[in-house]
Structure 1
């Protein structure tokens, strides 16, 4: 789902091209995690001519524009739009980028240790560590399903799907069905957008092999009574309609719980009956959990929510450590969804307050403006729900 997101490259273009001299003894500001909150904090600090040395640390060399992974999978958009390199985005910004894995965070000692052996003491810290896939103790889910969270995941999924289609052309008819079935566990934004994309994309790929596209199945397994739980009724209805209008109709199994996953099989509980769905490709698109590092932080349980996410002040500081700011999936704000548009606005607010701290000014509470949602529902097709008032449907074209 796209959430009215500002492209990071537009901020890079206006970033300062000179770095002001810094006293050697000044402790840096560290930004941990280069997702929407972390990257936009860095870009706004650069745009504001923030004088404190600033370091962005992420395990990957590339920023992942997750709301557009579907276009990357389908080939509608290329790599430079979906996963640009951090060193390109931060070129001449004055922000140092380090590709490394964060090993530990000591909030008391204000120190971050990296897997490479490097360590940094900080004056201010920004926690934007994001989330990881949550498998809810479902047997076999992690071992036998594919995630869809990064560009590497998209490449792996595309390779798996093409392999299955090729194998199906050389497999006797009775054994073809599992190869031609894709099961997607979860009917949130990721599951629905992926299902719609595959229901258009796979028939094109299979037809190119001279085979019968009607044999392809895309099945969504949803534990709840509805798809897109929490979104507006109009968006749910538009998505439901779009799923049925794809090149192959998407099957949605509501009130169906995936209780185990085996190789090429999803074991489901539906209507108090145990059923099995044979599928050579099973995608896990339900739920997320905080990065394990967040669980190790010395934050009392009272200052976390039930999922372990960190509670913040209205200025986005940790309750126990005012020198530490946070945003994105590892934190929680009342009545704010965990979406990209919230995360990048948090980044802008954190940058403003870091600048205010440096200049001795008062911090301002964050104000998040939700602008609506834009969903991709098949190749070149989308629906938008703007400001919970207006819905626009049609074909969406990218360069």
Structure 2
């Protein structure tokens, strides 16, 4: 098996690159490899975890996208790389009973793009890996949702029998993921209470605590955005503790450096990311956080014909700026590589100028109806604070823009209408 361009990782950047190249070059020259069969936009995983978004309705089939956009899809995880032979190894696919569905495969390439995303960085905190859930993938979000349902059911049963019943949720990390999850869980808890858990008081019995090590939440964003988000969380009876250094996590509780213990029936780790451990086994240069070291043209240093983009790439752009691990960076890098590869297909050299990251601002969802954020202006260093309905529309448009890149304008429009109608005919939370 061989392809001119092989892309490993079907996240936002990798999938958009595969779709855009596939439409131009065709399935014989573009291949996408992923360990899952369905794509979901990672920023929406907090909604899956809260139960307000059904992954079975939201997920997009890679096989369908490959057929419609003209690339080849290979199902399996990257397990090895032979740079000398320009060949990668994709692991087998087995059932839960360890029956082999697809064998191990080897794929030759002319150009390889690694877009494998990121995983959680636990910073050596004892018990973090064992006793927390991180929202890195759909299965993590589903695991959280199912455990939340069991806890709510048990608490409701206790209350109905006259015993004390409550659910303590601790979220470690006050970045965008932690803030969005906390707000979504508060809204979802109210909905769950009205869908059968009638003995629970959402505000009193579902206790949500957000722990952040920095002096304020949303530390990378402007202070006004962080302040607005904090006020909205507090209005929703979410306890926010800043300057909190978590030292260990045990079954049922989180401990900090000041000796405080926070009860935790359910604990989420959202305090940092790093590149997957696999990258350190491929013989490629990695830096802090396990990211692949790339040059300004997104080429992995010292590795001919291998590129990297998104969270797994440590990139310094042509302005000397460290590119942050954000979705908009992955989108921009995918477009840069698209231009690079299409020029190469015509026998032309790569772009004369290296990649430069453009920060268009950030938006943070604080529930299903409220969003806050900052938009970057044309002048360097200028930002425009936005909140409310206008900010919410812009936040929703980001998801639609991603769908438009992989589905096209017409299908994205029809899908948006269909989802609007489905939400009017199904429960507001997933109850099974």
TM-score, reference length from structure 2 = 0.79
The answer as to whether partners of 1:66 and 1:82 remain within 8 angstroms in 2 is no
Give the match for residue 275 of structure 1. 260
Out of 176, 201, 204, the position equivalent to 2:188 is 201
Give the match for residue 6 of structure 1. none
The answer as to whether partners of 1:201 and 1:379 remain within 8 angstroms in 2 is no
Aligned-residue offset at 1:119: 0.4
Which ranges in structure 2 are unaligned for 5 or more consecutive residues?
93-103, 317-321, 377-381, 397-419, 421-432
- Find out whether 1:112 has 2:101 as its counterpart: no
Matched residues in 2 for 1:311 and 1:156: separation? 33
Out of 216, 225, 228, the position equivalent to 1:226 is 216
**Which has the higher mean CA deviation after the structures are superposed, 144-153 or 219-228?**
144-153
Matched residues in 2 for 1:393 and 1:278: separation? 33
How many residues are matched? 366
Give the match for residue 374 of structure 1. 363
- Find out whether 1:49 has 2:25 as its counterpart: yes
Matched residues in 2 for 1:53 and 1:392: separation? 43
Change (3 A) 1:379 1:312: same
Change (3 A) 1:254 1:149: same
What is the CA RMSD across the aligned residues, in angstroms?
A: 2.3
User: Secondary structure at the residue paired with 1:164?
Assistant: helix
Aligned-residue offset at 1:307: 2.0
**Which has the higher mean CA deviation after the structures are superposed, 76-85 or 234-243?**
76-85
**What is the CA deviation profile of residues 328-383 of structure 1, one whole-angstrom value per residue up to 9, with x for unaligned ones?**
11111233211011102111111211122222212112233322212110132212
The answer as to whether partners of 2:27 and 2:72 remain within 8 angstroms in 1 is no
Matched residues in 2 for 1:358 and 1:327: separation? 20
Out of 261, 277, 293, the position equivalent to 1:292 is 277
The answer as to whether partners of 2:46 and 2:177 remain within 8 angstroms in 1 is no
User: Secondary structure at the residue paired with 2:69?
Assistant: coil
Give the match for residue 430 of structure 2. none
Query: What pairs with 1:192-271 in structure 2 (closer than 5 Å)?
Result: 192-208=179-195, 209-210=197-198, 211-213=200-202, 214-246=204-236, 249-270=237-258
Matched residues in 2 for 1:230 and 1:255: separation? 15
Matched residues in 1 for 2:108 and 2:342: separation? 19
Matched residues in 2 for 1:135 and 1:76: separation? 27
Matched residues in 2 for 1:244 and 1:277: separation? 18
Query: What pairs with 1:80-99 in structure 2 (closer than 5 Å)?
Result: 82-99=58-75
Out of 307, 310, 316, the position equivalent to 2:298 is 316
Aligned-residue offset at 1:188: 1.0
- Find out whether 1:191 has 2:167 as its counterpart: no
User: Secondary structure at the residue paired with 2:297?
Assistant: coil
Query: What pairs with 1:343-382 in structure 2 (closer than 5 Å)?
Result: 343-364=330-351, 365-382=354-371
User: Secondary structure at the residue paired with 2:268?
Assistant: strand
Give the match for residue 139 of structure 1. 126
Greater helix proportion? 2
